[in-house]
Amino acid sequence: MKKQIIIALAAAVAFAPFSDYGTVKGRAEELADAKAAYLCDFESGTPAYQKNETERLPIASMCKIMTLLLCFEAADEGQLRYDEPVTVSENASGMGGSQVFLDTGLTYSASELLKSVVVCSANDSCVALAERLSGSEGMFVERMNERARELGAENTLFANCTGLPKEPQYSCAKDVSIMLRELLRHEKYFEFAKIRLEDFSHPDGRTTSMTNTNKLLRSYNGCDGGKTGFTNRAGFCLAATAKRGNMRVISVVIGAKDSKSRFAGVSNLFDYAFSAFESRNIVEAGKPIGVKLPVRGSRQREIDVCPERTLSIFCKKGEAEDAAPEFILDSDVKAPLEKGAAVGEAIIYRGGVETDRCKLVASESADRFSWGEAYKKIAEKMI
């Protein structure tokens, strides 16, 4: 077990109690005319609006958020190459609903299949990718449910990878935000999410036009991703994200009465977030924390460390907050040490409650003493 040094700093921002921020339920129900809704900060997950947020409801194609997450994670882990050919099975090509009309036996790149899922919610591409990663859609769905549990999505159960009607399956507004928040950590997703209109090319020369169903990409300033969903039982659904300045938020609406209502609901939630809230950085990525880390066996002796990513708090504008960082450093670090190596953790406490954490990493490399330098060092101590 590693020995650690804990360094707690004084409150970075001092204001009102954290408990005031958890919800605006009862004060702004008109923001989303739907069965359920949820608004939160991307960085910390702090909620700003909640309406029936844990009610188990069908979410239609928004379940593809998890399908995409597993695909991008597989690519990160080397289990899937974006340029690799994926052969389409008869089962995949036979999917109904939204599709790009894949042909049985033809091969498409994993990247193109992923793009079609992000842009036009292609059910056939979903199943082709699921079969590639797990051997069958059923096995892939097992992994979807396992990943949901890992993320803490406690009110979610998947029955397929597409969201097409099948019982039992459900999720809730809060869980959808958790899954989307994790998906947004993959930059490759945004490469596809920004596409509004594009032709999908088939190996036999055919093309299928793909139109992004997220109209907020065109109409809402800062919206750069999201996933729509609709079935008769689920109603009209939308999970989307928008960023302005240094603040990114996530908004989810489930069970709106029509398409116009879901886009209006998410837009209203975005407006509320950007007008009433702000993101305050507590520690910044790449910026030394001001505490040197000793390194044994190196000519450097000690190095600067910095947060791997920016940690911030999401709070009401003009309202204060009791927030402070705590740094936990490994106490026995030995050379050689590469720049970017993890050497501890930065934790943000808000009102005494942990809200976020990230790795602390070495700001520079620390080489090991050469034999000559080590001998000289020992000799100096003996004099």
Q: Which of 51, 64, 115, 215 is catalytic?
A: 64
Q: Which of 44, 98, 111, 121 is catalytic?
A: 121
CA–CA separation, 120 vs 164, rounded Å?
A: 15
Start-to-end CA distance of the chain, whole Å, equals: 36
Tokens of 277: 């809230």
CA dihedral over 41, 42, 43, 45, signed as positive or negative = positive
On whether the CB atoms of residues 347 and 354 are closer than 8 A, the answer is yes
Is 317 one of the annotated active-site residues of the chain? no
On whether the CB atoms of residues 207 and 115 are closer than 8 A, the answer is no
200: number of Cβ within 10 Å: 21
From residue 25, how far is each of 22, 31, 32, 53, 67 by CA, in Å? 9, 10, 11, 10, 31
Is 134 one of the annotated active-site residues of the chain? no
Q: Which of 35, 44, 51, 61 is catalytic?
A: 61
Tokens of 15: 């204001």
From residue 126, how far is each of 122, 163, 232 by CA, in Å? 6, 10, 21
CA–CA separation, 23 vs 38, rounded Å?
A: 10
SS3 210: strand
For residue 229, give the H/E element and its range.
strand 223-231
Is 3 one of the annotated active-site residues of the chain? no
Counting every residue, how long is the chain? 383
* Residue-wise burial string across 288-317, b where 16 or more C-beta atoms lie within 10 A, e elsewhere: ebeeebebebbebeebebbbebbbbbbbbe
Residue positions annotated with a catalytic role: 61, 64, 121
